[in-house]
């Protein structure tokens, strides 16, 4: 039953996804075709005014369509993960410059690192792009400024809590990313993990950020959840599994550790 349910949900997501893309892509093609039609008509009647402008518009529209297919390809390819033992505190510290620049002058960046944080087992690139994506979302949610707080801690998820949260029991490192932005309504919150779901204008949002983070958490055998209140802010919690001692040794020795296939 669960397998069927999962399959049905997947099909629904694919349906929404292809419908949305077909629509966007069609709009872009309409821009290209429309622009070229106008240019053809002008040239046929010997008028050269504005021809350059319409050609530019057509070319821009074509470029947007090309970007969309690029993103689609990247999404469907879903680079395979290369999980290694990572020190999240160090990784976040190393991203301070990049995160501050992303957030802009009006948003303060605040860290709260736990001491003796366990190493996690995760793909470094994916973790970095996750944090960057969350910072971009936070910036967009705080147009009038605010604070982004990144906190880390060790958590031991008990069997019972794990069942409630849909995660596995075990030892995790929790990375909490909290903003003081506009927050989300319950309806919005329900859809944010859907691929290509965005409330941002075309060219600004892809709607892939959170769905990729969801995929990353699942593939890492971790967990992600979001808590949000309209007008108050949003907190994303990312649970990544603790790396075991052998993984740490291997990582120190420079050998990447591959997750066992399940």
Pattern 127-156, ligand ADP, x by CB under 6 A: ------x---xx--x---------------
Pattern 150-189, ligand ADP, x by CB under 6 A: -----------------------------x-xxxx---x-
Asked if 234 is part of the footprint of ligand ADP (rule: CB under 6 A), the reply reads yes
* Shortest spacing between CB 196 and ligand ADP, in angstroms: 8
* Shortest spacing between CB 63 and ligand ADP, in angstroms: 18
Instruction: Render 6-18 in DSSP notation, one character per residue.
Output: HHHHHHHHHHHHH
- 148 neighbors 103 (Cβ within 8 angstroms): yes
* Shortest spacing between CB 66 and ligand ADP, in angstroms: 18
Residue closer to ligand ADP by CB (options 117, 208) is 208
Residue nearest to ligand ADP (CB): 209
Which residue, 18, 51, 25, 21, is CA-closest to 37?
51
Residue closer to ligand ADP by CB (options 58, 99) is 99
Q: For residue 205, what are its two tokens?
A: 């949002």
Q: What is the 3-state secondary structure (H, E, C) of 186-223?
A: HHHHHHCCCCCCCCCCCCCCCCCHHHHHHHHHHHCCCE
Phi, psi for residue 166 in degrees, rounded to 5:
75, 20
* Shortest spacing between CB 172 and ligand ADP, in angstroms: 22
Phi, psi for residue 20 in degrees, rounded to 5:
-65, -45
CB atoms within 10 A of CB 182: 18
* Shortest spacing between CB 182 and ligand ADP, in angstroms: 6
Residue closer to ligand ADP by CB (options 59, 235) is 235
Cα 79 versus chain centre, distance: 14
Of 190-219, which residues contact ligand ADP (CB under 6 A)? 192, 197-200, 205-211
Q: For residue 7, what are its two tokens?
A: 């399959």
How many residues does this entry show for the chain? Answer: 262
Asked if 126 is part of the footprint of ligand ADP (rule: CB under 6 A), the reply reads no
Q: Which residues bind ligand ADP (CB under 6 A)?
A: 133, 137-138, 141, 179, 181-184, 188, 192, 197-200, 205-211, 234
């Amino acid at each position: 039953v669960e397998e069927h349910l999962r399959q049905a949900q997947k099909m629904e997501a694919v349906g929404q996804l292809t419908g949305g893309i077909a629509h966007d892509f069609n709009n872009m093609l309409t821009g290209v075709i429309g622009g070229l039609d106008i240019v053809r008509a002008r040239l046929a009647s010997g008028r050269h005014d504005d021809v350059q402008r319409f050609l530019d518009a057509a070319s821009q529209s074509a470029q947007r369509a090309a970007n969309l297919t690029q993103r689609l390809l990247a999404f469907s390819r879903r680079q395979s993960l290369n999980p290694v033992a990572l020190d999240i505190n160090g990784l976040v510290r190393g991203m301070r410059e990049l995160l501050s620049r992303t957030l802009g002058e009006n948003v303060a960046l605040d860290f709260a690192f736990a001491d003796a944080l366990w190493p996690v087992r995760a793909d470094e690139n994916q973790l970095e792009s996750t944090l960057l994506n969350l910072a971009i979302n936070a910036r967009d949610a705080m147009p009038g400024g605010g604070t982004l707080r990144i906190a880390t801690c060790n958590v031991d998820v008990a069997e019972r809590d794990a069942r409630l949260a849909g995660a596995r029991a075990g030892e995790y490192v929790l990375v909490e990313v909290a903003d003081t932005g506009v927050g989300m309504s319950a309806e919005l919150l329900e859809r944010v993990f859907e691929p290509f779901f965005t409330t941002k204008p075309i060219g600004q949002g892809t709607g892939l950020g959170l769905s990729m983070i969801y995929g990353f958490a699942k593939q890492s055998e971790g967990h992600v959840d979001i808590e949000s209140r309209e007008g108050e802010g949003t907190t994303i919690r990312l649970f990544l599994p603790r790396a075991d001692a052998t993984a740490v040794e291997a990582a120190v020795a420079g050998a990447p550790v591959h997750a066992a296939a399940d």
